[in-house]
């Protein structure tokens, strides 16, 4: 099977600012690769994003394409997936990821290494995987809204770390592990606090928690490879959930957070794990840090619902 057969008519969405402009250069490589292997420049189109949520707008209008390739980081993948979810399942294009970002956690879930944004040969023998999506219905000061995520939704200090990377990236030029660790040290320093919330897992009774993290995962990692839910399966129709609550001293919380890099945090008595298909959350005001695939959400309440097998996604032939 050749590249044209696998991809079909293809739309490439590029975030030209990803990795300090590296994505724009990678886009030129992608165009040359597809021209060579498809032998038809009319078989693909390239669009560059120019503003936040632009990829969502572009992807939502991608009916008529067989594949939409997101060339950038997790933020672009998030926006592209949100746009694809606006298309009915029968007409929804396949999603492809070309990782050129600072975190690339969704690429990890697809068993892609960090060179696959540059080495495009895997596209010629890619396979298609059916992947779950999380739906977020939230209420905030601006009214009601709906969003989606393909890797992670979290609230609390872990979300504050993701949100904190925005300014740190601009001011320091850091990326990957170094960026997330620097943001984490900031948050666990002057930003350390507990967050009161109410949570309801599926049809169970409401619980009141003093939480420092609440991660609702489709894939195993967030924050550039932190294995917060190491056994998460992105195709099993269930969220893997990790949360830490109680009066946790900062001197204990920081080492537990650092152990999450290798998934060793689960042995802490403060850390709890479970699975569910739906979660309802009530927050103590809109200053509660929330993130979906690294993108900030402002809300007073949120209902997180599993949408099983919602996306068809390109993956390397040897992926799980």
Per-residue pLDDT for 39 more than 80?
no
Q: Picking from 36-50, 59-73, 224-238, which range would have the lowest pLDDT averaged per residue?
A: 36-50
| Better pLDDT: 244 or 6 | 244
Whose structure tokens read 């892609």?
Answer: 112
* Residue 278 · residue 270 · CB < 8 Å: no
Q: How many beta carbons lie within 10 A of that of residue 314, not counting itself?
A: 23
Which candidate, 200, 209, 206, 231, places its Cα nearest to that of 218? 231
pLDDT band at 146; cut points 50, 70, 90: very high
Residue the block writes with tokens 């979660």: 279
For the ranges 97-101, 211-215, 272-276, the lowest mean pLDDT is seen at: 97-101
CATH number of 3-125: 3.40.50.10330
Instruction: Give residue 320's pLDDT.
Output: 66
Q: Is pLDDT above 90 for 136?
A: yes
Residue pLDDT, tens place only, 192-246: 999 999 999 999 999 999 999 999 999 999 999 999 999 999 999 999 999 999 9
21, 53 contact by CB (below 8 A): no
Q: Averaged over 95-120, what is the pLDDT?
A: 84
Residue 114 pLDDT level (bands cut at 50, 70, 90): low
Res. 116: pLDDT tops 70: no
| 2 pLDDT tier (thresholds 50, 70, 90) | low
More confident residue, 22 or 168: 168
Between 40 and 294, the more confident residue is 294
Element (H or E) spanning 159, and its range?
A: helix 157-172
Domain extent listing, the chain: 3-125, 135-308
Sorting pLDDT into bands at 50, 70 and 90, what band is 120?
A: confident
Question: What is the distance between the alpha carbons of residues 253 and 249, in angstroms, rounded to a whole number?
Answer: 6
pLDDT at 118: 58
Quote the pTM value.
Answer: 0.94
Do domains 3-125 and 135-308 share one topology? The answer is no
Predicted confidence band of residue 159 (pLDDT cuts 50, 70, 90):
very high
DSSP 3-state of 108: helix
Average pLDDT over all residues of the chain: 92
Residue 248 has pLDDT above 70, yes or no: yes
Q: In this model, does residue 276 exceed pLDDT 90?
A: yes
Residue pair 140/300 in contact by the 8 Å Cβ criterion: yes
Q: Of the given ranges (32-36, 83-87, 305-309), which has the lowest mean pLDDT? A: 32-36
Fold of 135-308: Tumour Suppressor Smad4 (2.60.200)
If you ran DSSP here, which 8-state letter would residue 122 be given? G
Q: Give me the pLDDT at residue 45, please.
A: 96
Residue 162: partners with Cβ closer than 8 Å, 6 or more residues away: 154, 180, 183, 222, 223, 291, 294, 296
Across 250-267, average pLDDT? 94
Residue with tokens 């770390």: 161
Quote the tokens at residue 319: 């992926």
Q: What's the maximum distance between 2 C-alpha atoms anywhere in the chain?
A: 62
Q: Report whether pLDDT(181) > 90.
A: no
Q: Rounded to an integer, what distance in angstroms lies between the CA atom of residue 126 and that of residue 146?
A: 31
Can you give the pLDDT at residue 115? Answer: 58
């Amino acid at each position: 099977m050749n590249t044209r057969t696998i991809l079909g008519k293809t739309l490439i969405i590029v975030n030209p600012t990803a990795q300090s402009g590296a994505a724009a250069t990678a886009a030129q490589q992608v165009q040359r690769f597809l021209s060579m292997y498809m032998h038809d420049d009319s078989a693909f189109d390239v669009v560059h994003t120019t503003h936040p949520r632009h990829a969502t707008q572009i992807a939502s209008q991608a009916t008529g394409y067989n594949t939409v390739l997101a060339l950038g980081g997790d933020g672009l993948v998030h926006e592209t997936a949100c746009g694809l979810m606006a298309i009915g399942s029968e007409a929804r294009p396949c999603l492809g990821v070309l990782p050129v970002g600072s975190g690339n956690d969704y690429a990890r879930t697809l068993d892609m290494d960090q060179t696959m944004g540059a080495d495009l040969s895997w596209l010629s023998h890619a396979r298609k995987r059916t992947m779950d999506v999380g739906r977020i219905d939230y209420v905030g000061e601006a009214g009601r809204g709906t969003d989606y995520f393909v890797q992670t939704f979290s609230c609390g200090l872990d979300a504050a770390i993701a949100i904190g990377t925005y300014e740190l990236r601009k001011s320091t030029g850091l990326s990957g592990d170094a960026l997330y660790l620097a943001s984490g040290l900031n948050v666990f320093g002057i930003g350390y606090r507990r967050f009161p919330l109410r949570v309801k897992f599926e049809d169970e009774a409401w619980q009141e928690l003093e939480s420092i993290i609440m991660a609702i995962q489709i894939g195993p990692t967030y924050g550039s490879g932190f294995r917060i839910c190491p056994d998460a399966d992105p195709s099993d129709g269930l969220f893997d959930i990790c949360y830490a609550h109680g009066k946790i001293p900062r001197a204990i919380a920081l080492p537990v957070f650092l152990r999450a890099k290798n998934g060793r945090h689960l042995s802490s008595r403060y850390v709890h794990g479970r699975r569910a298909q739906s979660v309802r959350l009530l927050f103590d005001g809109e200053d509660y840090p929330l993130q979906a695939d690294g993108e900030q959400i402002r809300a007073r309440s949120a209902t997180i619902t599993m949408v099983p097998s919602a996306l068809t996604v390109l993956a390397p032939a040897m992926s799980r």
